[in-house]
Amino acid sequence: MINHRQNGSGVPVVLLHGFCEDQSLWDDLLPQWAQHGRIITLDLPGFGKSAPLAQGFGIEEVAANIHDFLTRELKLTEYTVLGHSLGGYVSLALAANYPDYVQAFGLINSTALADSADKKMQRLKTAEFIRQHGVAAFADNFVPNLFAPENRQRLADKLTLVRQMTRGLDKEVVAGYMLAMRQRPGRMDVFRQNKPAMFVAGLQDPHISHTDIEQHLNGMHNKKLGYALPGVAHMSMYEAPDKLNEAFMALISLAKS
């Protein structure tokens, strides 16, 4: 079962949240975005109120589960998909595996590059930590670092909101996603294809280097859809909502044309 909500009408736009989040991530942006399309928010399997997948799943299985829901349950024949962080990996898998359905896609604080060897080792250790100590202990360090240091006090309510999203999560599901992200392939070829693709990055994001950001921006088919935001870490929907809204509007105008 995929827990979801729909707002607005017109071109279908699917919003996928990130790791240890849920669809409430998009709540601040929904009133404006729903004026420009049929906005579908959902909880990824195992997060929020959506049922988990069987252990051993990968990003491909998550994408297949979402696509099956969109096409069978919601009867979509085409859609635009935007993903934050982990949601961006799923968006890329959807664009790669179901190109006839995905009109346009966007990466929000995400990457089309595969993990480096060091990152893979880090994810392995993190998965083990989560299994040993639980999600709450992991979230204590994980959540604050999603925000740029200068934004943590200003956005204390949002930081608390994200921390609340992690409560009650199954540690095996969370560790399983960590391993799934570790095993995902690089998809720069998909990112560079002749299809509207949005890229929004924070220049203070600890999860992506400036070199990797430049690689994405330089490889974009339509460079007008690329944004590198100063003073922003991993949570652009909270740290720079106006800029994210600008990027969304630019992508939707192309998806409609």
176-230 confidence digits (pLDDT tens): 999 999 999 999 999 998 899 999 999 999 999 999 999 999 988 888 899 999 9
CATH number at 82 reads 3.40.50.1820
Question: Which residues make Cβ contacts (< 8 Å) with residue 83, sequence separation at least 6?
Answer: 15, 16, 18, 89, 90, 91, 92, 105, 106, 107, 108, 110
237 within a domain of the structure (yes/no): yes
92 within a domain of the structure (yes/no): yes
Instruction: Report the share of the chain in percent with pLDDT over 90.
Output: 94
Among the listed residues 7, 26, 8, the one whose alpha carbon sits nearest the alpha carbon of residue 16: 26
Tell me if 200 sits within 8 A of 247, measured CB to CB.
yes
Its domain, for residue 237, covers 4-114+185-256
87 within a domain of the structure (yes/no): yes
56-103 confidence digits (pLDDT tens): 999 999 999 999 999 999 999 999 999 999 999 999 999 999 999 999
Q: Is the dihedral of CA 190, 193, 196, 199 positive or negative?
A: positive
230 within a domain of the structure (yes/no): yes
Domains held by the chain: number: 1
134 within a domain of the structure (yes/no): no
Q: Return mean pLDDT, the chain.
A: 97
102-128 confidence digits (pLDDT tens): 999 999 999 999 999 999 999 999 999
| Inter-CA distances, 152 with 5, 91, 131, 201, 210, Å | 29, 28, 28, 18, 22
152 within a domain of the structure (yes/no): no
Tell whether pTM > 0.95.
yes
178 within a domain of the structure (yes/no): no
14 within a domain of the structure (yes/no): yes
